[in-house]
Structure formats: C-alpha cells, structure tokens
Structure 1
Amino acid sequence: MKMTTSAVPINENFRLEALKSLEVLDTESQSEFDEITALAAYLCDTNIAVISLVDSDRQWFKAKHGINKTCQIPRENSLFSHAILDPDHTLIVEDVSKDKRFNKAPIFLEDTHVLFYAGVPLVDKNGFALGTLFIVDDKPRSLTEKQLESLKAFAKQVVILFELNKKNNDLEKIQKKLKKRNESLREFAKVISHDLKMPLANIITSTDLLKLLLNDKLDEDSKQYFEYIKASSFSMSSYISDVLQHYESENLINSQPENFDLNDLLKEVIEFLSIKSDCDISFPKGDTTIECNKSALKQVFVNLISNSIKYNDKEKLIISIDFNKDDMFYYFSIADNGMGIPNDKIETIFELFTTANTTDKDGNKGNGIGLSTVKKLVTSLGGCIKVSSKEKISTTFEFSIKKCKKQTNTSKSA
C-alpha cells in the first residue's frame, strides 16, 4: 500500500487512552462485528467493509468483509486515517483519482484498487474518534441518503458493542476477584474451625479438669482465676464464631444501629481483653454518645486494641484513643507506642492473611485475619481506615464510620 502523509487529531493522546481503555485491540474475531461489516457492504453495494481502529502507528481491523489476509495497515495512509480528524462528519471520497488530497499515488487494499471511500468515525461517549467503519470500492460512486444513514447507524452499534464488551470484561474481572475472595473465606473458615476454636475448647476442658483436681488446694481467689480463664475462653470462642458468621452472612453489618456511649463500649472491650495494669489507656474526652452498629464497632476495637497490646515490646504500654464527629461521620483513632509496622508492609496490612510482624511480643505468629476483618467492617459501615507508623516507635490507626440517617437528620434539626 502506498503511503502518503500522516493524519493526527489534536487530542491524540487522550484519544489513544480512550481507545486502549476499551481493551479491544488485538482481540479475537467476533461474529457480531463481522455481521455488521457484511450488512454494511450489502446495503451500500460495495466490495469491502471494515471496522478499523486507529492505533498510534497502525490501523487494526476488528472485523472485515471482502478481504481475507489483511488484519492491519500502517497508519501513514492518510485516506484510511483521515476520517478520525473530524468525529462529527463522515469522510466520503467519491473518486480518489480526482481528489488532490489522496491521488498522488494509487491506493490498494489487498487486490482492490481503491477509488471510492466512505468512513464513518466510531465516536465514544466522550467524543473521541476511536477509528472508522469504512467501505471502499474499485470504482467511483456515491451513496444514497438511506445508505449513508444506515452506515452511521451501524457505526453507532459498533461503539455500543465495544462498550458492552468492556463492561463484560470488567464483570469477568470482578467475578475472578469474588472467586478469589470466596477461596480466602473458605481458608478463613478452616483457620477458625481448626486453629482457633479447638485450642479454646481444650483450654475450657483443661480448666475444669485442673479445678476439679486441685479443688482442695485452691483458695477462693485461685478458684476465681480459673473461672476468669474459663469465662474468657468462652467469650473468645463466641467472638470467633461471630467473626466467622460475619464473613458468611454479614449479620454484624445488618444489625440495627444502637445509641450508646463510646467509653462504655471501650470499657467492655478492655474487660473482654483482660488488659493488665501495665497498660495505660486514655479514653476520649467530651461528648462520646454515638449511634451506630455497636456490635461491628466493638469488633473493630477488639481487633485494634488487641493488636496494640500483642505487638508492643515496651515496658509500659501506652494506648491513646481519640474521637470526633461532624454532621456526616464519626472519626476514631487508636495510637500506641508498640513495635510499629515495617514500611514494606503498610500497603498490604489490611489484606486477608497478611501480617505486619513475624511474631508478637510473646513469639506467637499472627494469622492476618484481624485487620482484614476491621477494614471490611469499617468499609461496610460507610467509612474508611488508614494506618501510619514509625517502626519500633508507634502505630496509629484512623478510621471513620458514616452516621446513620436518623442521627444526621437529628443533628441538622438541632
């Protein structure tokens, strides 16, 4: 094919970005596009019809009728790429041999000597001409008004098919992510069932057995400690079951909002975690009354405070909890003086089964479930979470929760 001058739109970079975003270049042949070219050639009574996409240095044919071997041509041929310069108009050259723009040398498409050309721009929703639906013939001719309108209609259908294909591709990607997530959830269930609940059951059984064997040798305080161990084990087992149930049915997220005091909730969390006296925890000041999903928020704090304790190697543990609110959101922060998070782990810390540290202060290896659970809960509650950390110095988690509509309306009316 004889090459002439190049034709490049002024918005070329944006046009190419729009084209590549459709992910259609170099894809396999599809019957729906082939049928459009066949219909276009038939209705316009031409030898050849092509759906052509104009890439940076080539024109790639998504579908073609009347040619067999050619799948792309160099972009430098200005006749075939000229049509995208004006997205609003169809380029029609009734006799190439008499058109001074293109008659400097004969133009061939395979064995066809191109003397007639009509190209309708394929314009996306943002106005970018991605390519053309063009027809050519080996003899000069013209199009009737009905043929031209049909060609334009076909071009619109081509763009619609491109967009539908892109949506289908996106859905397939989402399905793959969901499949991967479901696989992770199955692993989560396995970890919960075998690695956590069974040891807790053993602790409960062993506690009862030791209390029975040592009953005559224990004073009342010692017996009470055994009860604490048993109660905490039952509580933790119940908590794990709630987490598992959350992943499977999201019952926690669907719970009705409650009106409660944040500091009362934090006291429940501290009692549940049996925090020792060597841990200094400061609570938020001022008005701490909130209305939200209490069960979900409690689980968030259980995970975050528990991590602050487990991953803290200081002699004196310091945890500072802060709280603020506006018309739309509640804002929380938890800062500690613990081990910190390595810089290379910050980006992945909320991914399921990803841990920031190899072991906690007692040498136990984490399972990477807690922070993933936290992020899922916070996101489901309409908020977001982020973390900042200085390794071996401190870690701060900040997260928000969207107020329920009732609370927001009340605030506005007040």
Structure 2
Amino acid sequence: MENLKHDATGSGENDQDASGDKRYSLGYTERVVARNADPSDVTEFKGDATQDMDWVLKNYDKKNSEPQSLEEELKRLQALKSYLILDSEREHQFERLTALASRILQVPIALISLVDLGRQWFMSNRGLGDVRETPRSQAFCSHAILSKEDILIIRDAKDDQRFANNPLVTGPPFIRFYAGAPLETPEGYKLGTFCIIDTKPWPNGLDLNSKQNLLELSALAVEVLVARRRKRERELEKNSQLVACTAHDLLTPLSGVELSLHLLKEDEDFQRKLSQHHRDVMENVETCSEIIQEICSTVRATYAEAKSSFEQSLMTAHLQRVNINKLVDRLYTVLEPVDKVVPLKVVVDDSVPKEMMVDSSKIFRCALNYLAVACKRTRKGMIALRLAVQKDSDDGKKSLLVVTCEDTAPAIKLEMYEYIFEPPKRGVALFEGEFENDDNKSQEFHPELCLFSVACEMNVIGGEYGFRPRNATDEGCRDYDKEVGTVSGSLFWFCIPCSELKESAMTKSMDLDDALYSSMQPTVTREDAVKFQQSISGKLFYQRKKRALVIEDSNVIRKMLTKILSKLGFDVSQAENGMDGLAKLKSSLFDLVLCDFLMPVMDGLDCVQQYRDWEKYHRPWIKQRIVGISAHATAGDIERGKSVGLDDYRNKPVTVKVLSELINCEGQVEMSNRLDEIERREENLRSTAHSESMVSEGFPKASLVNGRPCACLLVAPISEHIKSMQDLIKSSGWQSTVVGTEGEVLTLLKMRMWDLVLVDETFAPCIGAFRDWERKKRKTLQKSVTLITETFDINATQHTLPPNGIDALTAKPMSLHSLGKLLHRTYFALKEEASNCTAS
C-alpha cells in the first residue's frame, strides 16, 4: 500500500522502461512510443507553462480523449471546490453506493473518486482500507475525466502502455481491471469518477447491463452531491436573509427613536424642566441607539454588497480611525443601565495611543460581550476590563491590541472548558445554577452565545481569544483579592493586530482645495500621485530590520545561532520542532530560515514539504528561502531535502563565517531585496491610510446628483488596500460596489450605468468583452472607466493614450489621496453635466 502514498520516480533519459517502451527526451519535448502502437496515437508534449503541473497527463489516449486547457481545468476545480466535499468525513450516502456497486458488479474495489489539483481524493472507498487519496499523476481517473467515452474501461492494465508502469499496477493494490464513469455535474464539469477495480484482468470488459449499472450509480452519486450543496446553500441563504432582514427591520423603529430624541432635545421648554440626571439618561439612550444603528447598517450593507456570497462578505475587517477614549466612554454608556451587583472599571494602559487603526465595531462588540457575561455572573468582588498594546517588533510598526476582562465570579468547571467559545449545545450549560435566583429576565440571557460571538468576530479579523482562571499575577481585581485573602474568578481575553496613528508632515501637506477639473483627463491622477509620492518619499525608504527563523530542537545550538544572527543584524525567531516551525513559516516571511533535518514531533523535511504545499496556494507570489542544516545528513538525505523544497544546505556546526557567507550569497541577497520591496509597498499602502480622514473632509456628506447618490464600481482582487479604497469611497458620500470575479464584473457593468468605474489591470480583458456587448446593445456608452496599472509611470513627462475601451489611466497601487481627488473631480463634473441638461 506504500505506493498509494508516494509518486513514482521518473526514468532516465533515452532509456527503456520495464515494459519495453522506448522513451525519448529532447529538451522540453518528450515522446512515449508503446509497443504495437500507431505513432499517430501518441501525443507530443512541448515545453510550456503547464509542463510540470500535476494535472497535465503525458501519456493520454489522443484519439479518445479531450485534453483541457489551463483555463478549463481551473473552472473545473472551482466547480469541485463549490461542493465543499474534499477532506470531509465519510458519509453514509456514498458508502452505501460503493457497497452496492461492489455487490452488484462483483468487484473487490469500488470508489467514488474526486480529481483535485495534484491528487485524487476518495469520497468513498470500498476495498482499499483507510486510504483516502493518491497522487493525481498515478490516477486512472485522471484519464477517465478526459475520455470521450461514457465509461473508461481498462481490461488489463499491464497490456496498456498508459498504465503498465503505474505504481498502482506494479505494486499494491495491483490493479489489472478498471472501469470508471465520470461524475459529471449539471454545469458540465467532470469532477471525478465512480469506478470499479479488480486485481485480475477482465478480457471481455463490461457487458451492457453492467455498463448501465455503473452509469446509474455515477448519476446517483452526482445527485447526492448536488442535493448536499443545495441544502447547504439554502441554509446559508436562509440564515443570511434572516440576519439582513432583521437588521433592516430594526432600522425603521430606530430611526423613529432617534427622531423623537432629536425633537425632545430641540424642545427648549422640555429641556428646562429636565434635571441633569434626566439629560444624562437621554444622552445614554441616544448613544445606545447610534450603536445599534451602526451594527444594523453594517450587517445590511454587507449583505447588499455580496448577496451571492454572504458568508464570505462577513469575513472582512473594516479598519478605521478609532479614538480609544471615545470607545471606552461608549462601553460605560451602554453598560450603565445593565444590572450590576459589583463595581466595574475600564483601564486604558499607558501603552495605548489616543487613536488607532482598528475595526472598532468588532472590538466594541467583543468587549461588550465579555462584560455582559461578567456582569451577569459576578455577585461578589469586582470586574476589570483592561486595554493594552503589545509590541510585536522592535520598531513598533507591528502591534497587538490586547483586551482582558477579569471577574471574581465562581470558577468555571473543568469539564466545561471544551464548550467555552462553542455554539450553544442542547443539554450543556456553562454556568449551570448561577442564575437560578435571578428574575425571569435572566432566561433571555445566553452567556454561551456571547462567548461564541467573540470567537466568530475574532476569526473574521484574524484575532486570537481565550480564557483561563485568574492567578496571583493578575492585577485587575487585586483590591478584592487582598480583602478576601484568596484569588478567584476568570480572565477572558482577545487580541488583534493594530496600527498606531501619529501626526506627520506628510498628512499635513495634503490639501484638497486644489483647483478642480471639470472633465476627465487621460491621466487623471498623475499630478496628484506625483505630489503624494513626493510627500511620503522620506517615509518609505527606511532601513528594514532583517528577519531570521531558526528551527532546531537542540536548545544549545538554537541559542548559539540566535546569538550569532542577532549580532549580524537579524531579528530572530525560534522554533524547537518542525510543527512549531511550520506555524511560524506560515505566519510571516523571513530573510533566512535555518531548518534542522532530525527533530521530534515533526522532522525538518516534513516541515519543509508541508510548508511548500501550503505555499503553493497561499503565497504563490514569493518562494521563502529555506536552508537545511545537519551534522549527520548523507548525500542522499541532502538530495531528498532539496527535492522537497530546501534551497540550500550547510553542515553543522554552523559558524559565524559560514553564516556570513550564507547571508551574502546571491540567492539570499535576492530574497532580502524582495522583502525590502514588499515592505516598501506595504508601508506605502499603510501611509496612504493616514490621508483618508483628511481626504474625506473636503467632501459633502452625500454626493448627490439629481437626488441620487453617485455610484462607483471597483473591479479588483480583494486586498486590505482595496478595502481602504472602498471605505474612502463610502466616506466620500458615494455608493460603492466591489467585485472580484469575471462573471460578476460583466453582470454589474451590463446592469446599469456607473458614474465611475475603477478597474485593476488583471481585469482589463473584461472591459473589452463588455465594450463588445455594449456596442451591440446600448446607445449610450459607459463613461469614466479608469484602469489601475503598474505600467503607468507617474513621473513620466509623456504618456501613451489609454487602450481601447478605457477612458483614463492611473498608477498602481492607487493612493487614497489620488482616489479622493478623482472622486471629487468626477462628482463636480457630474453636477455640471446635470445642470447643463436641466438648463437646456
């Protein structure tokens, strides 16, 4: 069964394989000529971008197969992912189907196989034990999904030149007969096969009844897949609609409350009769009403922007400038009417600046949920909420906002720990018996839901959260600890990445009162972008401190390497085993990674291999440089290390001289230069965020033309900078819609006329397709389409005209200052155009 887990090794150049087939290799061109085969039936593969991809078959049947292009394969994989079935647990519906196939067709092995990128995964496996996947390069099903036939039948694999040397034929499970019917979805994609396998050949293949049975079983498996996906989509849509509609319905009565409060505040006679206490109560009601309205508006807007993917649309953080003192005041205001038996204090540490760039809504809601649980549970003692900033690096550019909530409530039972932060479960009560003496209103309070809400919010923005019993080092409730002589209670916490805001000459130099243009220019943002770049040039090119990661189980060697690298100017992170090292590799990029070969828990080569697999999907734009180190590695070990992803190797002991040579080698210098470039670009984007508030100050609160708000379509892959652009568009009084797929782009462009369309260069072909449709279907053409492109040089004295279908060009990344100016100019141009139409 070992062959089911590893790829087969390739044969040498111009040699003869075990089956007698002659293999010829010349550069990137390879031909495989089988015995007794017509040369016209053999496919030639020439070197191209897809040559080394796992899904590219190099020996398929040319006459009876339809090879797929890269675009077609990507669409097929997207369809496969949409069913959310990969890597799931075994499900009885599919298990019954393979059991039925094994009995009816009298075969030892029956599989429902899905062909993923680089692997085939078994949705159901009857006859292969616990094996759930094999490499795609060895999969018979990879051929079946390309076959023009309804069923791919291999009567004897040893007599077929495509499979004669396949490890699954020459080794366990010793496949001789194979028959696979594609799992074709209603959209026309072949996700995999329903296949049967035998260890002995079937010279006569399948009779007509057996073929029909196999096709029926395949169709049944697809029906189960489709029904499974539809059920999940209905549940998600139902839940998302319920949340969005509830938020929408709440806004109407909330508007009535706010209007009534406003009228009472404007009534001078009424105000004169009120005491200071009653005025304070009114202020509290007004603040609470605003908070509820903000939450409801956020939920409704999120649903409106992405109805087709409501779950994904929630997975985003809305960064904004937050005044910490104001946030604390709001917490006090909302909690003032809450029933509290013990004192409550909120402490802001000296490390917390006055203003920060964070998602204020999520911080507020998480802190409020913690405090609500603490207020409900704590009957003796006190409650303390503390906000502090923890530096993640020496330069202070990366920080964490840490929020802790201490209480002196009864200890949580040990057996309940696993249910904390989990969805409420029937029959499980985290705090059973604590609220029995409360009034009936306590029945409406669900502490489990409060804690689960914190977990959801933190997962959305990449934060961390947790719980532990209080101990003697915790200071929040120390006064009570001294009074009673014991330490009791719980500590709940969460932390999120944050950015501190400071005044700078850069932000002060920006002025939105420059002369306004009345029409769009071919290079609409050139002057603004040049001005912006000059204003921040002094900030961008700071000296970045290099980072290193040492993955080594020996504490002595780890400390020694850390000390040497620190002296060489590196900020060093450490990992004592491969699993810890893998987590750190995923969390950050490093100039240099040193990884030992042999370690407990997970060895170095497994760590590197798993990281490379993860890197393909999550960081395809950069390859982390990793250097292996060992005192006992053989030449074979070193070669295997490089085959799984090591870039270089050094013998132990690793001296200062060796490290100095290593960090100055060409590959290492190139890696550091790439990280410098990435850091400069990220600093550029972070710096643009400082201008957001000032950019929006010059705009009207609502950019209305003929009574309707201006609308902008932003076509770009989702990123933090795109989210900042969207926030600025909204704060400027415009309606904003962001799309990131080709289908959505064309749909929204055809749906209406937009006041401004901003298009990332990756979606430029979509504009051409839209213009072709537009010329046939519309009399009035879409105006103000601006392409955001890296090829546009903001410092150039002359610029080429925009390509066909594009009205203007701007530099990528587009600064928020430039975006603000463009919105301003476009708004006034639209107003002038509307005025001219009215006058005529």
Q: Confirm or deny that 1:26 pairs with 2:87.
A: yes
* Alpha-carbon distance in 1 for matches of 2:266, 2:85: 59
Percent identity, aligned pairs only? 26
User: Match for residue 131 of structure 1?
Assistant: 192
Deviations 1:259-314 (A, max 9, x none): xxxxxxxxxxxxxxxxxxxxxxxxxxxxxxxxxxxxxxxxxxxxxxxxxxxx9979
Deviations 1:211-264 (A, max 9, x none): xxxxxxxxxxxxxxxxxxxxxxxxxxxxx9xxx9xx9xxxxxxxxxxxxxxxxx
Structure 1 pair 200/155, CA: closer, same or farther in 2 (3 Å)? Answer: same
Structure 1 residues 126-135 or 104-113, which shifts more? 104-113
Q: Confirm or deny that 1:181 pairs with 2:231.
A: no
User: Match for residue 206 of structure 2?
Assistant: 143
User: Match for residue 417 of structure 2?
Assistant: none
Structure 1 pair 109/38, CA: closer, same or farther in 2 (3 Å)? Answer: farther
Letter in 1 for 2:109: I
Q: Confirm or deny that 1:82 pairs with 2:139.
A: no
Structure 1 pair 18/207, CA: closer, same or farther in 2 (3 Å)? Answer: same
User: Match for residue 132 of structure 2?
Assistant: 71
User: Match for residue 163 of structure 1?
Assistant: 226
Q: Structure 1 residue 43: deviation in Å?
A: 1.1
Structure 1 pair 35/78, CA: closer, same or farther in 2 (3 Å)? Answer: closer
Structure 1 pair 110/196, CA: closer, same or farther in 2 (3 Å)? Answer: farther
The structure whose Rg is larger is 1
Q: Structure 1 residue 86: deviation in Å?
A: 0.9
* Alpha-carbon distance in 2 for matches of 1:168, 1:196: 42
Structure 1 pair 203/110, CA: closer, same or farther in 2 (3 Å)? Answer: farther
Structure 1 pair 383/312, CA: closer, same or farther in 2 (3 Å)? Answer: same
1:7 to 45, 57, 65: 57
Asked if structure 1 preserves the Cα contact closer than 8 Å seen for 2:181 and 2:215, the reply is yes
What are the within-5 Å matches in structure 2 for residues 46-125 of structure 1?
46-104=107-165, 107=168, 112-125=173-186
Q: Structure 1 residue 180: deviation in Å?
A: 3.4
User: Match for residue 272 of structure 1?
Assistant: none
* Alpha-carbon distance in 1 for matches of 2:170, 2:242: 46
Deviations 1:183-229 (A, max 9, x none): 5346636743544423324545x45898xxxxxxxxxxxxxxxxxxx
Q: Structure 1 residue 77: deviation in Å?
A: 1.1
Q: RMSD over aligned Cα, in angstroms?
A: 4.7
Q: Structure 1 residue 35: deviation in Å?
A: 1.4
Q: Confirm or deny that 1:154 pairs with 2:217.
A: yes
What are the within-5 Å matches in structure 2 for residues 226-237 of structure 1?
none
Asked if structure 2 preserves the Cα contact closer than 8 Å seen for 1:123 and 1:159, the reply is yes
User: Match for residue 356 of structure 1?
Assistant: 731
* Alpha-carbon distance in 1 for matches of 2:239, 2:219: 31
Asked if structure 1 preserves the Cα contact closer than 8 Å seen for 2:95 and 2:125, the reply is yes
SS of equivalent to 1:52: strand
Structure 1 pair 82/197, CA: closer, same or farther in 2 (3 Å)? Answer: same
SS of equivalent to 2:178: strand
Q: Structure 1 residue 58: deviation in Å?
A: 0.5
What are the within-5 Å matches in structure 2 for residues 201-350 of structure 1?
201-204=264-267, 206=268, 321-322=705-706, 347-348=726-727
SS of equivalent to 2:104: helix
Q: Confirm or deny that 1:192 pairs with 2:255.
A: yes
Asked if structure 2 preserves the Cα contact closer than 8 Å seen for 1:118 and 1:134, the reply is yes
Structure 1 pair 4/26, CA: closer, same or farther in 2 (3 Å)? Answer: same
User: Match for residue 99 of structure 2?
Assistant: 38
Asked if structure 1 preserves the Cα contact closer than 8 Å seen for 2:121 and 2:134, the reply is yes
SS of equivalent to 1:76: helix
User: Match for residue 327 of structure 1?
Assistant: none
* Alpha-carbon distance in 1 for matches of 2:88, 2:170: 22
Q: Structure 1 residue 318: deviation in Å?
A: 12
SS of equivalent to 1:63: strand
Asked if structure 2 preserves the Cα contact closer than 8 Å seen for 1:4 and 1:77, the reply is no
Structure 1 pair 170/117, CA: closer, same or farther in 2 (3 Å)? Answer: same
* Alpha-carbon distance in 2 for matches of 1:81, 1:317: 57
Q: Structure 1 residue 36: deviation in Å?
A: 1.4
* Alpha-carbon distance in 1 for matches of 2:753, 2:213: 50
Runs of at least 5 residues in structure 1 that lack an aligned partner in the other structure: 211-239, 248-310, 324-331, 336-342, 358-367, 373-381, 399-414
SS of equivalent to 1:107: helix
Letter in 2 for 1:151: L
Letter in 2 for 1:139: K
* Alpha-carbon distance in 1 for matches of 2:168, 2:247: 58
Asked if structure 1 preserves the Cα contact closer than 8 Å seen for 2:176 and 2:197, the reply is yes
Deviations 1:368-414 (A, max 9, x none): 9x989xxxxxxxxx97886798469578499xxxxxxxxxxxxxxxx
Q: Structure 1 residue 129: deviation in Å?
A: 2.0
Q: Structure 1 residue 49: deviation in Å?
A: 0.7
User: Match for residue 251 of structure 1?
Assistant: none
Q: Structure 1 residue 346: deviation in Å?
A: 6.2
Structure 1 pair 320/203, CA: closer, same or farther in 2 (3 Å)? Answer: closer
Asked if structure 2 preserves the Cα contact closer than 8 Å seen for 1:115 and 1:136, the reply is yes
Asked if structure 1 preserves the Cα contact closer than 8 Å seen for 2:182 and 2:192, the reply is yes
Asked if structure 1 preserves the Cα contact closer than 8 Å seen for 2:701 and 2:731, the reply is no
* Alpha-carbon distance in 2 for matches of 1:312, 1:105: 68
* Alpha-carbon distance in 1 for matches of 2:90, 2:701: 64
Asked if structure 2 preserves the Cα contact closer than 8 Å seen for 1:349 and 1:371, the reply is no
Asked if structure 1 preserves the Cα contact closer than 8 Å seen for 2:115 and 2:141, the reply is no
* Alpha-carbon distance in 2 for matches of 1:201, 1:34: 67
* Alpha-carbon distance in 2 for matches of 1:371, 1:20: 32
Q: Structure 1 residue 321: deviation in Å?
A: 4.8
Q: Confirm or deny that 1:16 pairs with 2:77.
A: yes
Structure 1 pair 75/393, CA: closer, same or farther in 2 (3 Å)? Answer: closer
* Alpha-carbon distance in 2 for matches of 1:87, 1:176: 42
* Alpha-carbon distance in 2 for matches of 1:318, 1:114: 69
User: Match for residue 301 of structure 1?
Assistant: none
* Alpha-carbon distance in 1 for matches of 2:96, 2:225: 15
Deviations 1:313-337 (A, max 9, x none): 79x99998549xxxxxxxx5779xx
Q: Structure 1 residue 154: deviation in Å?
A: 1.3
Structure 1 pair 318/176, CA: closer, same or farther in 2 (3 Å)? Answer: closer
Aligned residues: 263
SS of equivalent to 1:39: helix
* Alpha-carbon distance in 1 for matches of 2:236, 2:271: 53
